[in-house]
A and B are shown apart, each in its own frame.
Chain A
Amino acid sequence: MKVLVAVKRVIDYNVKVRVKSDCSDVDLANTKMALNPFCEIAVEEAIRLKEKGVATEVVVVSIGDKACQEQIRTALALGADRGIQVETDQAVDSLSVAKLLKAVVAEEQPQLVILGKQSIDSDNNQTGQMLAALTAMPQATFASELTVADGKATVTREVDGGLQTLELTLPAVVTTDLRLNEPRYASLPNIMKAKRKPLDVKTPDALGVALKNNVKTLKVEPPAERQGGIVVASVDELVEKLKNEAKVIG
């Protein structure tokens, strides 16, 4: 069984985001970039499926300019077999990404596509579901447990009220939540090996996808700052303030 994992290059999650002074966007100049954390969990899950003998090949795809090859190499160092970059320097929305991935799915014919549930930059939480819709595949988002057997994927999902388990007919799309696994670190020998693994570069044109972006960002602002309050000295003072000043307890 072939597993396709889609990954995104985003700002490193440890970096504090700043808005540009002209409010046109966030300032990403000279910031550290990394593999989106949810995508890293997706890569790890695919590799574990291969280690269990369920998956035979793990293919990683990313969409972006040449810089995203760095994140593909990271995934290859973690244990993926082969990479595909769909090269574009345009900002692409989730729907266009899903269309590009659909074209890659048509070429690669994976039985399972694993993606992160969302990227930590645009926070859209759309691509996996859109890909599933465009390819008429079933989906399980926010996965915290995944088993694959007999042409089915059984997936436990993190939902608002607790956990929900679904059974999907393969091929299927799964998106990862935080508790699916803890990604490994790449070892130095594997980082070296990853440099020699195959990485194909394709273009949206070659995949027959016209990119569009019908949602325009007019403005990006910092959020309203919340004023810090006071430090109280005792439980008595705290209870007094909550009762008489904030009036939130009776």
Chain B
Amino acid sequence: MTILVIAEHDNAELKPVTLNVIQAATDIVKSAGGEIEVLVAGAGCQAVADAAAKAAGVSKVLLADSAIYSHQLAENMSLLVTELAANYSHILAPATTTGKNFMPRVAAVLDVAQISDIIAVESADTFKRPIYAGNAIATVQSSEAKQVITVRGTGFDAVAAEGGAAAVEAISFAEDAGISRHVADELAVSDRPDLTAASVIISGGRGMGNGDNFKLLDGVADKLGAAVGASRAAVDAGFVPNDMQVGQTGKIVAPELYIAVGISGAIQHLAGMKDSKVIVAINKDEESPIFSVADYGLVADLFEVMPEFESKI
């Protein structure tokens, strides 16, 4: 069997989550044998394909380089992937907003069920996935002829980014569905690491009071090389933009160190960060549920202790 992994990228660089998805594919290969190929679809994305070719365990990289794929519109991505599908037993993409967008379209055209957001591979047809916002873990077995799967990156380690030497093969197929058009992107520009790739994250919640107070977190983030996140409550209150949201409906993260500041710990937030290696909670309410998952809790007024914390790390 051959597995197709669809790369996550921004036309300039390969996003690290792709390496986690390749690990999931490697787990399938371990149980059933086979090879792993990577599809890079984008515009002017040769560098991404070259990076994917170096990832451990990849036997071939397919490069679909066309303006049609510059924004990876679901309509065009699904035409491309379904065109290639005949060669593969499994098609895997990361459960990012891009993967979640086009993969069900692929599955429907292939007339197979999709398995979303897997966190573990049991065998070539059996997977674990969270349901009910992570309050239960289901083990599911698919009898479909072809498996279409999205992978939660935090469920798998990343394969080595270097060491492989796969061939890159260009694909000429380029069909524009012509029913949707990209108008604009309003993407956050930051010198800090991406939330989903950061090894340290510091997040603020409703307790921050307003958007300005997030500056209290910036200083710590600068010192630790951390990404800054937020709870849904902080986003809904308009303190910070939505792309900072960590939680079931935002980003799912699992850094080495997660520092939750002024976050009570609603289930929806915990679902997005409870797999972090070390969790620190700073909150003045000692009854907050966040303390039940924190390795180190500090019951204190964040406005008093954050400047001190920044100065002492």
Contacts and interface: CB of A to CB of B under 8 A. Distances in A.
B108 interface: yes
B141 A218 contact: yes
Nearest to A167: B181
B132 A130 contact: no
A61 to B, nearest CB: 18
B284 interface: no
A216 B115 CA distance: 11
A84 interface: no
- Chain A, interface size category, equals 35 or more
A236 B235 CA distance: 31
A248 B278 contact: yes
A95 B134 contact: no
Nearest to A128: B104
25 contacts: A11-B132, A17-B136, A19-B136, A93-B113, A95-B112, A95-B114, A124-B114, A129-B104, A133-B105, A133-B108, A159-B243, A160-B243, A161-B10, A163-B186, A166-B181, A167-B183, A168-B179, A178-B249, A179-B236, A216-B143, A217-B138, A228-B291, A235-B305, A246-B278, A248-B278
Interface in A8-34: 11, 16-17, 19, 26
A141 B100 contact: yes
B135 A163 contact: no
Interface stretch (B36-44, B59-67, B73-81): B73-81
B210 interface: no
Given A133-B106, A162-B187, 12 more contacts: A95-B114, A123-B117, A129-B101, A138-B179, A142-B97, A144-B242, A160-B196, A166-B183, A215-B143, A217-B138, A222-B136, A239-B313
A104 interface: no
Given A159-B98, A248-B277, A223 B186 contact: no
A226 B258 CA distance: 14
Contact of B298 (A213, A219, A232): A232
B211 interface: no
Given A179-B242, A220-B136, A137 B179 contact: yes
- Chain B, interface size category, equals 35 or more
Contacts of A231: 286, 291, 296-299
Contacts of A163: 185-187, 242-243
Q: Which 9 A-B pairs have the closest CB atoms?
A: A229-B295, A129-B104, A130-B108, A133-B108, A126-B104, A138-B180, A138-B179, A162-B187, A133-B105
B299 A220 contact: no
A246 B295 contact: yes
A162 B195 CA distance: 12
Contact of A214 (B130, B144, B241): B144
Contacts of A16: 135
B76 to A, nearest CB: 10
Contacts of A249: 200, 224, 257, 313
A238 B136 contact: no
A18 to B, nearest CB: 8
A220 B140 CA distance: 9
Interface in A61-93: 93
A109 interface: no
Nearest to B95: A125
B195 to A, nearest CB: 8
Interface in A170-208: 172, 177-179
